[in-house]
Structure 1
């Protein structure tokens, strides 16, 4: 087929009135895309953002020639994606969410394989491989098997494999999910290097809304429909005058203030940023710019909290747009009173007794030391963050705390039990939510809950009571008979947490619980975590969304199996204060520490 030429000034990708409908057997048709039109220019980055089920992945699969629309048209590099898909494939790079690396092959062997598949001439490979290895910082690891790479290194290798033959259009489906902030920054550096040096056009979907700020053009999608598009800055006027920060006043904490704000009907969004609560008010909010009235339900007192206007960011606009489109954040109901919380008397919680104590923790795999000299403690009812770059040793530490991996040395005491000598006694008192949710996809929601309830030793009326609680607490009563495989990602996340909480654990372990979740699902998740914490549950969490670290009481940052820093969010932020960054975020501190 002759090569199509894209005329100067013409978009690399042009979609007009695209409609895609999936028709699963014995189910109602699902409209994935409805009258979608968009374009991607050469030398430009176009971002697709939206909650789960918005149609982002469907759109990118169409552009890669892997799907066919029911109506409308799409051309890529001048080729019709329906009639001429074969002609365009050698000229595009496509990186899906689950990129097909061959884990038993080395870094170099993966590059060789993809160069063979792309018919890259042997004479051109040496120079191109050297460039890609330099761009991705993988030059030292060419003989390491892909399966032995950290998550961030795998993503960079996947991107390198897409680029063995420089494409004219690069299609990236959430390339930074599950990647630490340093690797995430590296991936964007590579993307913009291609844009600036090669004039490559890029279309990228992302779950990180700060990444939308990096794009030249942003398209917001919801339920297969395009809600809006423009430059990131062009969106800000939509929430002008409605974005404020509120500083907590002692003894109130940012987290308790955040919980109060979420309960207000006129608060569209609330998040914690640098120790203060950031709120987006609805258009019809009666609140005066000078003060926010908050009613204390316990004492029926009215107190005023000072509002400080702050500049909008894209994330504020995104949540507000979805709110106006009917997608409000699910706010868990607050309990009026809790006399006994998960088997713990309130007075025990108030004494802040330690729930976890770790001293000089060591883990060795043969001659390799994965974790060494780690010490920390976590009080009951606290949220503790375990942070680190991919490969830092936090997952290994996490698994030792849960009793899934035996320590080589040191002490671990969880819920009053020595995890080196009596891990089984502790397991009944902890809940565990894995990064890749351990759900049975062919079971219904209720069947999954019943299975895990019985596995935790719940029976008869007690089991039924906890099943009813889980369906009500996580707002899944109308989906209890839905097959788990069919659930949106946000509901799978809810189900996984509900299963982990069925037996009323004292300690909840969460391993990358919001990886790949959209912004609304992440907010709902943390609203529930905060509620459980207030009720006395101790929470240990690993995360790559470092803005989520603001919800922690204390945190530990690891690198190469050792402790880099530990403290409260304020203490960690203080480590990055400088003339250039007088008001740093946790991510600023993380990147500074990781680079030292």
Structure 2
């Protein structure tokens, strides 16, 4: 069997913008036909810049870059007519329907009228969007939007497909669907570059190119990189206070990284390091490494376990008060029921997760519980306050971080901090102390005067979290707080969240990262507007365990429980 052809060849590629440090520095590598090449790296590593260079939308400052045999400096038009490109942000027209978007892009791509009916039918079937041809793109779920973007990128079958983080904001089921579609394309010989912040996706690629601060740290099969941490990854079980134990363990000498996995803790040790001392009754055993372990190790390890935010905050009372209560919450939009009879209680100092596919109703439930959406029936309470009667009073005791960056893009970091401090009633010395603390903890000073809209995604998310924590809230609402950010930044967020919970803060979180779901004490899985499962991460995994899958992941549990609900629905309909 012949070797796959090199569709993209990078030789010492450098890109500099003005006086800033190089966005890319001496990057070399290839993208082959019939393979998926993962482009991975933390925020600001240069992934999007590299993809735009490949499209011919920008020229390299130095080095050479050829795509399908064409030099990007001289043959950009030839490249653009032969590739498919799906940008990081949804680039279609939300006021147009699915069919209208496809027609528009067919016009732009010069697809002959005689071919359109057959091509549209094939792509709508391929992406399972045929039922939604008349629906406006703005009314599609996150996963369906990504499928539409993929369909438009494939209107003229490309030899090379460039996907800039197609899985961001997409639930595990939709991500699996996207992945299966792309694998089908590679069987036709199409080369795919898949930029991603989801390292389980990178692990499934044929090859990966790892960038950090504009430099290539690794290029090759992911298994080769994962093998570098073989024998250094451990699972610690039998721990009671897992959040406290994790904070101590990651600060031990020789511990490079640590994360919570349900009732256990996963540790990565430095090369040659001895196992750290464990709490009484804890057990430690070696476990299979993942690509993410190798990724974090290559970038120098995680952020440690000390949270300056939590250290500066007084603890809330150590009691069992119900801080978040949902009692029969229901929301209807006309004839459509977005959430139906949702009920649960979250005691003080617990992390409670709302999980579910795109469009399942979890964001509707979330917004009702933080007073942003009035329920059709049922009640929601925060810190004992009825949201339907005293929403303003409740908001003073909660912090809210929206799914999409919702701060003021034209204001600088400092201006945003000052504004939100004022909104939450901080003034004088208290205001100066809290805004100064946020600047220091999140390393904002280097960017303090920069408009928020120009910040890298990781810094935008840090700013949004800082604003939500400004007034030391008792309850924290986090709607996909780390969507699209890299694993190092996600660890930093959860280090702060875990430490705040130890101080008695209560957290309600939505996420599509299943490894983040492992941090939750309990989870409600929402599907078709209803809660179909409620329990701890390990309880949900045990519920779907089988002889064929004795040790399911959280993602396996998510997919299995949704399929189980679909099967029950079909039985009832029959």
TM-score (norm: length of structure 1): 0.91
Residue 308 (str. 1) matches residue 297 (str. 2) = no
Partner of residue 176, structure 1 = 167
Aligned residues between the structures: 563
RMSD over aligned Cα atoms? 2.0
Alpha-carbon distance, 1:486 to partner: 4.5
Residue 37 (str. 1) matches residue 28 (str. 2) = yes
Alpha-carbon distance, 1:547 to partner: 1.2
Partner of residue 47, structure 1 = 38
Query: In the aligned structure 2, how far is the partner of 1:39 from the partner of 1:402?
Result: 48
Residue 589 (str. 1) matches residue 557 (str. 2) = yes
* Cα contact 1:101–1:158 (8 A) shared by 2: yes
Alpha-carbon distance, 1:79 to partner: 1.0
Partner of residue 390, structure 2 = 422
* Cα contact 2:352–2:509 (8 A) shared by 1: yes
Q: Deviations over 1:518-557 (max 9, x none)?
A: 1100111111100111111111100000110110111111
Residues 402-551 of structure 1 aligned to structure 2 (within 5 Å): 402-476=370-444, 479-551=447-519
Which one of 248, 259, 262 corresponds to residue 250 of structure 2?
262
Partner of residue 98, structure 1 = 89
Residues 379-418 of structure 1 aligned to structure 2 (within 5 Å): 379-418=347-386
Partner of residue 146, structure 1 = 137
Alpha-carbon distance, 1:60 to partner: 0.6
Tell which deviates more after alignment, 381-390 or 276-285.
Answer: 276-285
Partner of residue 299, structure 1 = none
* Cα contact 1:248–1:254 (8 A) shared by 2: no
Partner of residue 568, structure 2 = none
User: CA 1:548 to 1:336, structure 2 compared with 1: closer, same or farther past 3 Å?
Assistant: closer
Q: Secondary structure at the match of 2:355?
A: strand
Q: Secondary structure at the match of 1:396?
A: helix
Query: In the aligned structure 1, how far is the partner of 2:126 from the partner of 2:532?
Result: 26
User: CA 1:305 to 1:563, structure 2 compared with 1: closer, same or farther past 3 Å?
Assistant: closer
Partner of residue 231, structure 1 = 221
* Cα contact 2:527–2:562 (8 A) shared by 1: yes
Runs of 5+ in structure 1 lacking a partner?
A: 1-6, 295-301
Partner of residue 50, structure 2 = 59
Tell which deviates more after alignment, 436-445 or 225-234.
Answer: 436-445
* Cα contact 1:20–1:69 (8 A) shared by 2: yes
Query: In the aligned structure 1, how far is the partner of 2:445 from the partner of 2:24?
Result: 28
Tell which deviates more after alignment, 267-276 or 108-117.
Answer: 267-276
Alpha-carbon distance, 1:468 to partner: 2.9
* Cα contact 2:45–2:211 (8 A) shared by 1: yes
Q: Secondary structure at the match of 1:218?
A: strand
Q: Deviations over 1:553-578 (max 9, x none)?
A: 11111111111111111211122111
TM-score (norm: length of structure 2): 0.94
* Cα contact 1:332–1:473 (8 A) shared by 2: no
User: CA 1:339 to 1:84, structure 2 compared with 1: closer, same or farther past 3 Å?
Assistant: closer
Query: In the aligned structure 1, how far is the partner of 2:215 from the partner of 2:541?
Result: 39
* Cα contact 1:274–1:585 (8 A) shared by 2: no
Alpha-carbon distance, 1:328 to partner: 4.8
Partner of residue 267, structure 2 = 279
Query: In the aligned structure 1, how far is the partner of 2:270 from the partner of 2:351?
Result: 30
Query: In the aligned structure 1, how far is the partner of 2:114 from the partner of 2:86?
Result: 25
Q: Deviations over 1:175-223 (max 9, x none)?
A: 1100000000000011011111x21011111000000111111111111
Query: In the aligned structure 1, how far is the partner of 2:455 from the partner of 2:149?
Result: 28
Query: In the aligned structure 2, how far is the partner of 1:184 from the partner of 1:454?
Result: 40
Alpha-carbon distance, 1:15 to partner: 1.3
* Cα contact 1:334–1:531 (8 A) shared by 2: no
